[in-house]
Every structure is written in structure tokens, then in C-alpha cells.
Amino acid sequence: MTSANKAKLQLQERVPLPRTAWKLADLAVLSLLLALLARRASSLVSSGGTAAACTWCWVAALICEAWFTVVWLLNMNAKWNPVRFVTHPERLAGYWAGDDELLPAVDMFVTTADPKLEPAVVTVNTVLSLLALDYPAGKLSCYVSDDGCSAVTCYALREAAEFAKLWVPFTRKHGAKVRAPFAYFSSSSGGGAAERGGGGGAADADAEFLRAWTSMKNEYEELVRRIESAEEKSLVRRGDGAFAEFVGADRGNHPTIIKVLWDNDSSKSESDEQAAGDGVPSLIYVSREKSRTQPHHFKAGAMNVLTRVSAVLTNAPIMLNVDCDMFANNPQAALHAMCLLLGFDDEVHSGFVQAPQRFYGGLADDPFGNQMQVIFEKVGHGIAGLQGIFYCGTGCFHRRKVMYGVPPGSGTGATKALAAADSPSYKELQKKFGSSKELIESARSIITSKEAPAAVADLTSRVEVAKQVSACSYETGTSWGQEVGWVYGSMTEDVLTGQRIHAAGWRSALLSPDPPAFLGGAPTGGPASLTQYKRWATGLLEIVLSRHNPFLLSASKRLRFRQCLAYLVIDVWPVRAPFELCYALLGPYCLIANRSFLPKASEPGFVVPLALFLAYNAYNLGEYVDCRLSARAWWNNQRMQRITSSSAWLLAFLTVVLKTVGLSETVFEVTRKEQQQQQGSPSERGGRSPVAAAARASGSSCAAPGFCSASGRS
Ligand SMILES: O=c1ccn([C@@H]2O[C@H](COP(=O)(O)OP(=O)(O)O[C@H]3O[C@H](CO)[C@@H](O)[C@H](O)[C@H]3O)[C@@H](O)[C@H]2O)c(=O)[nH]1
Ligand SMILES: [Mn+2]
């Protein structure tokens, strides 16, 4: 083994997590389920059709219980061999011999769709946290897709680009632990010298830091104030023409608007004494063309436009995508991800790198059951041990070539020469990627894994080309939305797209550094949360009923069988609804009709359902305890599970039935994002917070500037 390979191995470790006791518990519940089925089947046979209504109940119960057993088996499979990935970003320097130039570039995508449901301040915080990541700024570019076509969002980002010139150097200089300003100012302290490690000349340094902190906080509050007072109409009317393109633009019908808000390259020529290192990453605003006559495919469509726009501008080999409300919580997130993208001997192991969804500001004990901590912990790590974690739509690093449909094995080592030899023809590329010459050339360089093409010198000079590839009609007759890019046809484009990648033979890696790489917002209200569950369930059933059904992919492509079963754990959500509802109604029905669907307490057979009830609930509660969650959270989630199943999942089931018979269409209902504070514990985040203290004193529940005033909106 070469020394380079050794260094590679050390960037990450794949650590199997032992769970012998859990496996025994899995089997115990399974045997009880089987015993229940066996007893029920045998008593049905022996009763031989006496007492018709009773038999009817028992048959229904048998069918439901058989289904529950299938669901249990699916979950068992998904959880059986969990793994964890440990990443060592500090070793990256050794890997490259300290030459940052060798780190791959990353194009970062943020999507926003509605300035009302997704306030611009939220998006701005996400963008700022990405711009301030610990990574060479010249290697990062941030693209924001605005499906809302809002001048306010564009204005907010333009202001954010200005603020970033202060913010990025500030966070780097002081080693800020979290780089979304709202989270930083609600958790850090201007007087917290300890936070920065103290050291010699501490008093002077402290005074200087306090000055810098205070002035930065003022700047941020000013930024928030400007954004919140910005008005669509007056911006558009403004004389300077900066927002001229928004005049008369209707969000469902308008030409493409692309604005280079900041070009990192230009910072190098500028003698800006503020700019530390190589300055601030580029920031590009994109509002793709919309027309009422063309489908726009919701988020998947937006992601594909960003993929193409970035291809003709910066063409980074790695793409990071986050939702507008999901900020980078760990400044080293990109470096940790690189450990997984570069750290395997064979890149097949990390076709993409996904951080589990974690939420900030969530309600205590998860009353709406939408934080899904146990699922991510148990099923997430379990699937990571199979072919790899699912793509969750946000907090994910993709290889561009994987998105372009390149199968594993091409372009590495010995096969590299081969791939170059049968480099696809211009015609083939045109058929797949569409007519743009620039896009075809950039795709060719990605597919053949040639050296990264020289970056475009001046981003603005390419805007016209970028507009061409963002047109509504660009995808017509190409492979976009099918074999290339984000896949169309499901409300859960993320699961569908990840499935295609796994079916191509790639594996994926789970990114779980401490602190978590990204934090997002979860709905804090019942209806929003149920709407979200309904959309997911709709999308999942759409997948099951399409040609992307996991069984078909497993039979015809390289989706592993156990991974296929793992996908089914979530794919069957809506299908669970009718069974769970039926079983829940059996009890009341039997009470009213004076029947029973369970053995009487005096009968010996009673012990099986009783033991199952106890074992199943103890198992579930045990999982919550294992994830350091409260019994209250367990109870809340059990309750929400019943509600979700009999409302959101059931409606999703019916929606897809209606869609299948051609009576309705499915639409993506955007989740409302709330402006709220970061609720990380101050001690964990580094010290007391004067802002929080002030907020407490004034009786306000919100500590983050700019996040209080508007919370009444939701
Ligand atoms: O037409 C649209 C609709 C949505 N979005 C964006 O898509 C993202 C996700 O939308 P959201 O309403 O927040 O949905 P969630 O249910 O919270 O999202 C989860 O589920 C989605 C699939 O249903 C995934 O795409 C997301 O990444 C995942 O976080 C947001 O950034 C939106 O701005 C668009 O860009 N265009
Ligand atoms: Mn969301």
C-alpha cells in the first residue's frame, strides 16, 4: 500500500455499532408477532366458520397483524447492522501536504420558494453560514434559487453579500463556533474571552473582541432591519434599476433573472483590507424562468436549474444542497464531508455524503412528532450500514458526476484511461444535457474526470449562457429529471433521486460530526407538520407505484436487496394507514357489537397479545431512552404516530389513488418557516449571552435580534 493510500484511510473510519441486546429484543418481538399470527390462524381454522361476525373480525385482525409483522421485519432489516463514520478533518492537511489548492471546489445550493412562508432573513442566515464555512473561499460558490421571484429576497441577498465582507473575516478571525449570525448572537457573548481560548494579553484582546463583537452585532441588526422593512413594490419602483427585471414579473410567469451578487475573483483585485485570506465566496441569485404552460417540477426543477447554472459558471465537482432554513451549524462541515468524499480507497463508498436532519428551536419533547430523532439515530445509522443513508433533500454533498448519471468505477485509477477512450460524443452529450455548448463542455470535463476546467474568469460575462440553460424549455427532449440531475415524478424528489444513485451502484456515507453539520427548522404547529407528512407520504407512494419502485430497481439494477427493503420502511408509510386505522377501529367495533377480536383474559391465549403489547412498548421506550430522549417524547410521538397515520398518511394514500385514476394532481405545499431563536445550550455553545440575558430581563422569549419582531407573523 502506498503512503498516499494510508493517509487516505485515516481521513475516515467506518465503525460498526454493536447492538446484540437490541437484536435479541428484535427477535423477541418478532417471535411474539409470529405466535400471535399462528394462534389466530389456527383458531380460525378450528372454529371453521362458526359465528360469522366473529370470524370476520378475526380475519381483519389477522390481515392487519400480518402487515404489522411485515413492517416489523422491514424495520429489523434496516436497523440490524448500524455503523457510524468518524471523520478527521485535521488530517486533510497531511493528505494534501498542506496545499489547499488541491481541495475540490464546492458549489453550494440554497432553495427558497416563497418570501412569505420562508422569510428572507431565514435564507440570509443560511447563506451567511455557508459563505463563512472553514474552506478556501475561492473554492466555494453559493447559488440561491428563488422560486418566489421576489425582489425582497434578491435585495436581502445583495445586502447579505455586503454584510458578508465583514462577517466572514470576523467569524474566521475569532473562530466563531456557529456562523449563522442569528444563532451566533443568541449564543455567544461579547465578554466571553474564555470562549476564544484566552491566552496572553487577554485583557487587550478581550477589549478588542468586545468592540468587534458589538459593532458586528449592530451591523447585523441593521441588516435585519433593512431586510424586514424592504417592500416588494417600492424596491421594484426604485429608480436605480437594480430590480428592473422584477417589474411586472409574476412568480408563475417570468423570464429568468440571474444576478452575480458577489464574485470571489473580483475580490482578489480589490484592495480590501477587510478581506482575510481569499475573501468571501461568490454569491449568485437565480430565479428560473416560469411559464404557466410548462411544468416546473417544484424543488427538483429548481435543483436542476442550479446544477446547470453552476455548471456553466463554476462547475465544481462537489455540490452541497440545503433548504433555505438549514444553516451550517459546524463551520467545518465541508471539511468533514471531504473526509468522506476523499477518504475511501474507492469513491464508490461515498457517491454522496448526507448529514442527518437535525432541528433547532424544536419544541420540548417533540409534541408534533416531526423531529424524528429516533428514526435518524436507529434507522439512519442502520441504513448507513447497508448501501448507505438515503438522500434527505438537504444537508447533502453530491458528486456532480454522480448527478450526471455516471456509474461507479468509471474515471478512477485503471478505468480512467478507458473512460477517456470512450469519452461520449458531442451528439450523445447533447441528447442528455441539452443544446448549450458551454454546458456540454463542462459536463464532458466532469464525466471524463479530466482536470477541472479553468474557472470562468468573470462570472458576469457568463450570465447570458446561464440564462439560456435556465429556460423552461431547456430540458425538453433531454435526460434532465430522468437519468440526469434530480429525478421528477415524486413529491419526495430527494428519496427518488437518492434511490436512482443507489440503483446505479453507488453507496452513500453518513456525515455526523459533533456538533451536527447542519440544523434546520421543523414546523412547530400541528397543521404544518401534518401537511408535511402528507406530502412526504404522497411522494413515497408515488415512487412505489412508478417504474422507480425499489423492487424493480433491485431486480433490474444495482440496488441491493436489503437496501431495497430499507427504502420500503418509509415508502410504505401511506400504505400503513388503512391497516392501522382498521386495527384501531376493531376495538370500538367489538365493544359496540359485543364481539371480541382478542382472546379473553381468562383464556391461556391471552398471554401472547399481552406479552407483545408490553414487549413492543418497552422496546420503543427503550429506543427513546437510548437516544437520550424523555418518556414524555416517547408518549408524544406514539400519540402523533396514530394521528399522522390516520390523517396525513391516509389522505396521502387517497391523494395518490385519485392521481392514479387521473382525478387530481399532486402539488408541493411549502412548509412555513418560523423565525425563531437557536435553542442550543449556552454552556455548550460557549458562555453566557448578554443578548439572551437582556431578552430574559425584558420578558421576551426570543433572544435573537431580528427573530423576535416577526415571530408574530406565523
Ligand atoms: O416549488 C418549490 C417548492 C419548494 N422549494 C424548496 O424546497 C425546500 C424544501 O421545502 P419545504 O417546504 O421546507 O419542505 P420540507 O418538508 O421541510 O422538506 C423536506 O422534504 C422535501 C421533500 O418533500 C425535501 O425536498 C427537503 O429537502 C426536505 O427538507 C425549501 O427550501 C423550498 O424553498 C422550491 O425551491 N421550489
Ligand atoms: Mn423544510
CATH of the domain at 505: 3.90.550.10
Query: Which residues are annotated binding-site positions?
Result: 118, 147, 299, 323
Mean residue pLDDT of the chain comes to 88
The Å distance, Cα 343 to ligand 2 centre, comes to 30
Ligand 1 pocket test: which of 324, 670, 672, 674 has the largest number of ligand atoms within 8 Å of its C-beta? 670
CA distance 225 to 202: 34
Which three-class secondary structure string do you get for 664-712?
A: CCCCCCCCCCCCCCCCCCHHHHCCCCHHHHHHHHCCCCCCCCCCCCCHH
- Ligand 1, atom 31, lies closest to the CA of 323
> Which atom of ligand 1 lies closest to the CA of 539?
23
Amino acid at 508: S
- pLDDT at residue 565 tops 70: yes
Residue 386 domain-assigned? no
Residue 706 domain-assigned? no
- Ligand 1, atom 25, lies closest to the CA of 393
Burial 544-574 (b: 16+ CB within 10 A, else e): beeebbbeebbeeeebbebbbbbbbbbbbbb
The Å distance, Cα 702 to ligand 2 centre, comes to 21
Reported ipTM? 0.99
Q: What is the pLDDT of residue 86?
A: 97
**125 and 273 both lie in a single domain:** yes
Residue 200 domain-assigned? no
Q: What is the pLDDT of residue 242?
A: 86
- pLDDT at residue 690 tops 50: no
> Which atom of ligand 1 lies closest to the CA of 491?
23
Burial of 610 (0-12, 13-18, 19+ CB in 10 A): middle
**56 and 114 both lie in a single domain:** no
Name 208's Cβ contacts closer than 8 Å, sequence gap at least 6. Answer: none
Q: Tell me which of 494, 522, 550 is where a domain ends.
A: 522
**563 and 657 both lie in a single domain:** yes
> Which atom of ligand 1 lies closest to the CA of 536?
23
Residue 6 domain-assigned? no
CA distance 94 to 409: 26
**618 phi and psi angles, rounded to 5 deg:** -65, -40
**535 and 402 both lie in a single domain:** no
User: Using 50, 70 and 90 to split pLDDT, how confident is the model at 704?
Assistant: very low
Q: Is 520 helix (H, G, I), strand (E, B) or coil?
A: strand
The Å distance, Cα 670 to ligand 1 centre, comes to 6
Which ligand is closest in space to the CA of residue 356? 1
Bridge partners (DSSP) of residue 109 are: 143, 321
Q: What is the pLDDT of residue 605?
A: 86
Q: Which residues, judged by CB distance below 6 Å to any ligand atom, belong to the binding site of ligand 1?
A: 111-113, 118, 145, 147, 298-299, 302, 323-324, 393-394, 491-494, 532, 535-536, 539, 668, 670-671
- pLDDT at residue 550 tops 60: yes
User: Using 50, 70 and 90 to split pLDDT, how confident is the model at 50?
Assistant: low
Q: Tell me which of 492, 522, 552 is where a domain ends.
A: 522
**462 phi and psi angles, rounded to 5 deg:** -100, 5
Residue 310 domain-assigned? yes
- pLDDT at residue 279 tops 70: yes
Which ligand is closest in space to the CA of residue 290? 1
> Which atom of ligand 1 lies closest to the CA of 521?
17
> Which atom of ligand 1 lies closest to the CA of 296?
1
The Å distance, Cα 495 to ligand 2 centre, comes to 15
Could you tell me the three cell numbers for 121? 432573513
The Å distance, Cα 11 to ligand 2 centre, comes to 31
Tell me the per-residue pLDDT of 587-632, one tens digit each, with 9 for 90 and over. Answer: 999 999 988 899 888 988 899 999 999 999 999 999 999 999 999 9
Q: What is the pLDDT of residue 688?
A: 32
Pairing of strands 359-360, 508-510: unpaired
**139 and 238 both lie in a single domain:** yes
Mean pLDDT of 116-134: 97
Q: Give the best-scoring range by mean pLDDT among 145-149, 197-201, 368-372.
A: 145-149
- pLDDT at residue 344 tops 90: yes
The Å distance, Cα 323 to ligand 1 centre, comes to 6
- Ligand 1, atom 27, lies closest to the CA of 393
Residue 59 domain-assigned? yes
Q: Which of 147, 325, 366, 571 is catalytic?
A: 147
Could you tell me the three cell numbers for 114? 416563497
Domain span at 153: 103-190+205-357+392-410+431-522
- Ligand 1, atom 30, lies closest to the CA of 323
Residue 32 domain-assigned? yes
**Residue 263: active-site member:** no
Which ligand is closest in space to the CA of residue 536? 1
**141 and 266 both lie in a single domain:** yes
- Ligand 1, atom 16, lies closest to the CA of 532
Mean pLDDT of 446-459: 76
Mean pLDDT of 47-70: 84
- pLDDT at residue 714 tops 70: no
Q: Is 72 helix (H, G, I), strand (E, B) or coil?
A: helix
- Ligand 1, atom 28, lies closest to the CA of 393
Which ligand is closest in space to the CA of residue 323? 1
Q: What is the pLDDT of residue 701?
A: 35
Q: What is the DSSP letter of 262?
A: E
User: Using 50, 70 and 90 to split pLDDT, how confident is the model at 677?
Assistant: low
- Ligand 1, atom 33, lies closest to the CA of 112
**457 and 580 both lie in a single domain:** no
Q: Tell me which of 466, 490, 522 is where a domain ends.
A: 522
Of the listed ranges 1-5, 157-161, 601-605, 700-704, the least confidently predicted one is: 700-704
CA distance 463 to 247: 19
Of the listed ranges 90-99, 318-327, 570-579, 646-655, the least confidently predicted one is: 90-99
Q: What is the pLDDT of residue 683?
A: 33
Amino acid at 653: F
pTM more than 0.95: no
**573 and 599 both lie in a single domain:** yes
**Residue 346: active-site member:** no
**605 and 619 both lie in a single domain:** yes
Q: What is the pLDDT of residue 241?
A: 80
**44 phi and psi angles, rounded to 5 deg:** -65, -45
Order of strands, edge to edge, in the sheet holding 508-510? 257-262, 282-287, 140-146, 106-112, 318-323, 396-399, 352-354, 508-510
Q: What is the pLDDT of residue 603?
A: 87
- Ligand 1, atom 10, lies closest to the CA of 670
H helices of 314-457, where?
333-342, 373-374, 381-384, 400-403, 413-421, 426-433, 437-447
**497 and 573 both lie in a single domain:** no
Burial 72-107 (b: 16+ CB within 10 A, else e): bebbbbbbbbbbebebbbeebeebeeeeeeebebbb
Q: What is the pLDDT of residue 294?
A: 94
Tell me the per-residue pLDDT of 295-313, one tens digit each, with 9 for 90 and over. Answer: 999 999 999 999 999 999 9
Query: Which residues are annotated binding-site positions for Mn(2+)?
Result: 299, 323
Ligand 1 pocket test: which of 150, 323, 531, 573 has the largest number of ligand atoms within 8 Å of its C-beta? 323
Which three-class secondary structure string do you get for 270-309?
A: CCCCCCCCCCCCEEEEEECCECCCCCCCHHHHHHHHHHHH
CA distance 231 to 227: 9
Mean pLDDT of 36-56: 79
Residue 704 domain-assigned? no
> Which atom of ligand 1 lies closest to the CA of 670?
12
- How many CB atoms are closer than 10 A to CB 482? 14
- Ligand 1, atom 5, lies closest to the CA of 299
**347 and 265 both lie in a single domain:** yes
The Å distance, Cα 643 to ligand 2 centre, comes to 21
Ligand 1 pocket test: which of 108, 109, 110, 111 has the largest number of ligand atoms within 8 Å of its C-beta? 111
Q: What is the pLDDT of residue 686?
A: 35
Tell me the per-residue pLDDT of 87-124, one tens digit each, with 9 for 90 and over. Answer: 999 998 877 776 777 899 999 999 999 999 999 999 99
Ligand 1 pocket test: which of 299, 357, 673, 674 has the largest number of ligand atoms within 8 Å of its C-beta? 299
The Å distance, Cα 521 to ligand 2 centre, comes to 6
Q: Which residue has the cell 461579547?
A: 190
526-544 vs 650-660: helix crossing angle, rounded to 10:
40
**237 and 176 both lie in a single domain:** yes
Q: What domain count does the chain have? A: 2
Q: What is the pLDDT of residue 200?
A: 53
Which ligand is closest in space to the CA of residue 532? 1
